[in-house]
Amino acid sequence: DADVTQTPRNRITKTGKRIMLECSQTKGHDRMYWYRQDPGLGLRLIYYSFDVKDINKGEISDGYSVSRQAQAKFSLSLESAIPNQTALYFCATSEPGQGADEKLFFGSGTQLSVL
């Protein structure tokens, strides 16, 4: 079983619809992240959370919201989807290590298409 699981793997929705992408992890990490990747581009950080009571905006949070339901669960919502939110979305986790040992562990991604 994957350590970081994203559901669904693929989703097609229409403009204006509300949609939620879910992420769960079995790594026991406190830190969780949502990234977005557009074709040919790198990953951009949407939101991150260092624990259940901590939520922070990333580089491109407009149009998105998140919920950290538990240490293991971090969901991303698009309240009113628009076509330029069509992208590949990744959830990731990390645990601060000794010095700069912190590594990101990614899920397999959710391909979202907004028509």
Partner 1 sequence: LAKTTQPVSMDSYEGQEVNITCSHNNIATNDYITWYQQFPSQGPRFIIQGYKTKVTNEVASLFIPADRKSSTLSLPRVSLSDTAVYYCLVGDSGAGSYQLTFGKGTKLSVIP
Compute the distance between CA of residue 86 and CA of residue 57 in angstroms, rounded to an integer: 20
Stretch in the footprint of partner 1 (CB under 8 A) among 12-20, 65-73, 76-84, 105-113: 105-113
12 vs 82, beta carbon nearer partner 1: 12
Q: What is the 3-state secondary structure (H, E, C) of 54-104?
A: EEEECCCCCCCEEEEEECCEEEEEECCCCHHHCEEEEEEEECCCCCCCCCE
Which residues, in sequence order, are bridge partners of residue 91? 34
Compute the distance between CA of residue 95 and CA of residue 86 in angstroms, rounded to an integer: 29
Instruction: Tell me the per-residue interface mask from 23 to 42 with partner 1, x by CB under 8 A, - otherwise.
Output: --------x-x-x----xxx
Exposed/middle/buried for 88, CB within 10 Å: 0-12, 13-18, 19+? middle
Smallest distance, partner 1 to C-beta of residue 98, A: 8
Can residue 44 be called a binding residue for partner 1 (CB under 8 A)? yes
Smallest distance, partner 1 to C-beta of residue 43, A: 4
Size of the site for partner 1 (CB under 8 A): 32
Which listed residue (76, 92, 112, 114) binds partner 1 by CB under 8 A? 92
- Could you list the residues that contact partner 1 (CB under 8 A)? 4, 31, 33, 35, 40-45, 48, 50, 56, 58, 88, 90, 92, 94, 96-97, 99-109, 111
